[in-house]
Structure 1
Amino acid sequence: MKDAIVGSVFFGIILTVITFYIGDLLKRKLKHPLANPILISGMAVIGILVFFDIDFDTYNKGAKYIGFLLTPATVCLAIPLYEEIQHLKNNWLAIMSGIISGIISSAATVFVLSLVFKLGHQEYVTLLPKSITAAIGMDISKQLDGVVSITVAIIIITGLIGNIMGEFILEKFNIKHPIAKGVAYGASSHALGTSKAMEIGELEGAISGLSLAVSGILTVFAVSIFANLI
């Protein structure tokens, strides 16, 4: 019975959807930053696979199809951006300055910490694309001969931290402007940060979506420079 269920191509999809749905219910009920649907779903899936001794490739046989939705979902972020296009025109210099600052600070942080912890070149380039969407980060890591699977894990962790801690950090630093919030979320924690920004407001979500896309493009150039430093 177990083999029949686990061997089905629908197993990974159903498990992912159910655990995420449970995580979303907990978030709505508990209203706590740590009650994050993605965090809860990920931990639940890992726990189930380990407990029932299910191979990841077996789970991913179906779950990988959910990943195909990542790129079109990212493209759909252009819709709220179009609706708030006037704010973009009026504040383009501040937005671009924030995005570029975020890219440089992200790469510089990885560079400094790599020196402190004496990481090799492969580990260093694996961590460089940590703050951009996985669709772009995976390709960058692969081209630089990084460890793609670790890059994906780091990107997810970065996004989760931004999603969970972003509001707290913005409040502590007294950052209240919606455009500043949007740039912070999009440039530092990609799609997961953008989803949180959309919960806060339409303008925050639109600017975060723009920051996500522009950061991904500009990071390709920034990483090509920083990659040669170690």
Structure 2
Amino acid sequence: MIDGSGSIGELMAVWTAGPMLSIAMTLAAFLAAQWIFGKIRRPLWMPPVLIAAVLLTAVVAASGIGFEKYQQGARWLTVLLGPATVALGVPLYQQMHHIRALWKPILVTLPIAATLAAGYALVIAWSMGASPMVMASLAPKSVTAPIAMGIAEQLGGSVPLTLGALLITGVLASLFVEWGTRWLRVKDERIIGFALGLNGHAVGTARAFEISPTAGAFSSLGMGLTGIFTALLLPLLLSFAR
């Protein structure tokens, strides 16, 4: 006779001991978020990644699994962030003729915008008496997650705090870029996409691809160049802030 309770207990032990539970919870939260996002008519201020984060936080807290155990299992998904970011090179290649046509404006605007994105976060945090750890965590808030996590760790910041700042920045950047381009009557999808990627990293890039492939390609370009420039710039800025 099969002991049903024992089999279920062994199955749960396997799920909680390995990465399967964390991966299943993450995918379920994302699918539920996509469904909710469609039902509420796809508002800019509530993207699927934010909905999924809220749902996942509630489930982790209510289940008693604990953030540390969830994070340990979810590392398998974190590894995929790098290849996913590199894969954005495909739309870049497809839009290379547009990029070549605008290389001068890109070369001028990128250093200014990326410096401001990191600089004002450091100035605000420093003026409010934030510790060096908090400043190091908030500084890469406009950089895509794989690069931002590496920057935060190298500078002595907190990765969870950096990821929280990334989520907030991505949502607000997508919202304000949308408002700003309407107010300024900017209709060029290349400019809109570049602004979304430069300020809103992956969240902004997801929004850009909803606009058009051209906007998505320029958003990918802005996101990648901002990550490289910020990785070189932040150690210098933090040395002055400290």
1:157 — aligned with what?
A: 168
1:187 — aligned with what?
A: 198
Which range moves more in the overlay, 170-179 or 215-224? 170-179
Separation (CA, whole Å) in 1 of partners of 2:221 and 2:78: 21
- For 1:1-230, what aligned pairs fall within 5 Å after superposition? 1=8, 3-4=12-13, 5-31=15-41, 32-230=43-241
Separation (CA, whole Å) in 2 of partners of 1:163 and 1:68: 25
Task: In structure 1, give the amino acid aligned to 2:109.
Answer: G
Answer with 1 or 2: which has the greater Rg: 2
Paired residues of 2:209 and 2:216 also in contact (CA < 8 A): yes
Instruction: Pick 1 or 2: higher relative contact order, CA cutoff 8 A, min separation 6.
Output: 1
Which range moves more in the overlay, 132-141 or 164-173? 164-173
Separation (CA, whole Å) in 2 of partners of 1:68 and 1:183: 26
Which range moves more in the overlay, 114-123 or 35-44? 114-123
Separation (CA, whole Å) in 2 of partners of 1:46 and 1:224: 32
Query: How does the TM-score come out when normalised to structure 2?
Result: 0.87
Task: In structure 2, give the amino acid aligned to 1:19.
Answer: A
Which range moves more in the overlay, 107-116 or 217-226? 107-116
Deviations 1:39-62 (A, max 9, x none): 111111111111122212332343
Separation (CA, whole Å) in 2 of partners of 1:78 and 1:111: 30
Separation (CA, whole Å) in 1 of partners of 2:27 and 2:132: 37
Question: What is the deviation of 1:8?
Answer: 5.0
Question: What is the deviation of 1:189?
Answer: 1.3
Deviations 1:34-82 (A, max 9, x none): 4421111111111111112221233234322121211111111111111
Question: What is the deviation of 1:151?
Answer: 1.7
Q: Aligned with 2:129: secondary structure?
A: coil
Q: Unaligned 5+ residue runs, structure 1?
A: none
Separation (CA, whole Å) in 2 of partners of 1:19 and 1:168: 29
Separation (CA, whole Å) in 2 of partners of 1:174 and 1:20: 34
Question: What is the deviation of 1:6?
Answer: 3.8
2:4 — aligned with what?
A: none
Separation (CA, whole Å) in 1 of partners of 2:132 and 2:239: 9
Separation (CA, whole Å) in 1 of partners of 2:71 and 2:81: 15
Separation (CA, whole Å) in 1 of partners of 2:94 and 2:24: 34
Separation (CA, whole Å) in 2 of partners of 1:95 and 1:6: 48
Deviations 1:1-30 (A, max 9, x none): 574454453111111111111111122232
Aligned residues: 230
Separation (CA, whole Å) in 2 of partners of 1:134 and 1:194: 12
Runs of 4 or more, structure 1, over 4 Å off, are none
Compared CA separation, residues 104 and 35, structure 1 to 2 (3 A): closer
Separation (CA, whole Å) in 2 of partners of 1:51 and 1:35: 23
Paired residues of 1:179 and 1:204 also in contact (CA < 8 A): yes
Question: What is the deviation of 1:229?
Answer: 1.6
Compared CA separation, residues 121 and 162, structure 1 to 2 (3 A): same
Paired residues of 2:19 and 2:76 also in contact (CA < 8 A): no
Separation (CA, whole Å) in 2 of partners of 1:56 and 1:122: 21
Separation (CA, whole Å) in 1 of partners of 2:62 and 2:240: 43
2:5 — aligned with what?
A: none
- Sequence identity (%): 28
Deviations 1:147-202 (A, max 9, x none): 23312221222123224553233323433221211111111111111111111111
